[in-house]
Amino acid sequence: MRIPILKLKDYLLVSIQVELDDQTVLTFQEDLLDKIKATSAKGVVIDLTSVDMVDSFIAKVLGDVIVMTSLMGTKSVVTGIQPAVAITLIELGITLDNVHTALDLEQGISILSQLLEV
Amino acid sequence: MTESILVNIKNEFDIVLARQKGREVSKKLQFGGVDQARITTAISELARNIYLYAGSGQITIEILHENGRKGIKIIAADNGTGINDIRMVLQDGYSTSGGLGAGLPGVKRLMDTFDIDSTVGVGTKIIITKWIR
């Protein structure tokens, strides 16, 4: 299973709509970095609105991919984290430090444009 | 009526299957949305521990009825190498796999009860429960 990555102007948009298994998450990690290289994207939004569960492995891989995109010189924002997901992540002890977040895709895009203006 | 669902954990796709079963059962029992996420996440963590550390094992999901209360019980069992120092793995921030897989303390926080029994060379059994509030 592959997570589709859409290009919109200078941004890449990812909306995760599938039940995440380990392999899908790891493939996504590589696909996103390849796509950044291929498109010279300046920003990435990863939308988790449809994701109802994030365990420590998924959180680790997502956190890592955001650091990786940053190493490549791209700004990333995670959007749409559901209340239940936010609660379980904190109870698990996962804080996702240094990750830019926004309530939804729209606010994510506006945070990206702010980050890229500087 | 005792209902029980067994999922054999042999590969990473079984982790997804185990948590889907957990979600189904907790939904059927009418747990709230946050508790459904807690239960599903806890199962995912325990299933991944089995896969990472023991290679294979079983997740069993049972429905609990007690004094008019309903709940869910999850048993994670493996015949892996066992845990040498249980106190250590129950400390926050302890990991032998560089952050992959679960903090057991996290799983403990997600659930109402958490019991672990492990014997080196024999295996590990973790039983967690959550009751509907």
pLDDT at B91: 78
Q: What is the pTM of this model?
A: 0.92
Contact A22 B15 (CB under 8 A): yes
Comparing alpha-carbon positions, the chain A residue that sits nearest to B41 is A55
pLDDT < 70: residue spans in chain A: 118
Structural domain boundaries in chain B: 4-131
Mean pLDDT of B53-64: 96
The mean of the pLDDT values for chain B is: 90
Report which DSSP code applies to A114.
H
Of B19, B33, B109, the CB nearest to A84: B33
| pLDDT band at residue B99 using 50, 70 and 90 as cut-offs | low
The confidence score (pLDDT) of residue A9 equals 93
How long a stretch of residues is chain A?
A: 118
Alpha carbon of B107 to those of A13, A71, A78, B42: distances in Å?
Answer: 32, 32, 24, 5
Where exactly are the structural domains of chain A? Answer: 5-117
Residues of A with Cβ-Cβ distance to B107 under 8 angstroms: 92
CA-based nearest residue to B47, from A96, A53, A61: A53
| CA nearest neighbour of B81 among B98, B60, B96, B103 | B96
Which CATH class, in words, describes the domain spanning A5-117? alpha beta
pLDDT at B100: 47
Q: Which residue of A has its CA nearest to B103?
A: A92
Q: How many residues does chain B have?
A: 133
Nearest to B104 by CA among B114, A95, B72: B114
- Extract the tokens encoding A103: 């309530």
Is pLDDT above 60 for B102?
Answer: no
Cβ contact A88–B100 (<8 Å): no
CATH 3.30.565.10 for domain B4-131, yes or no, is yes
Give the per-residue pLDDT at B95.
60
pLDDT value for A58: 92
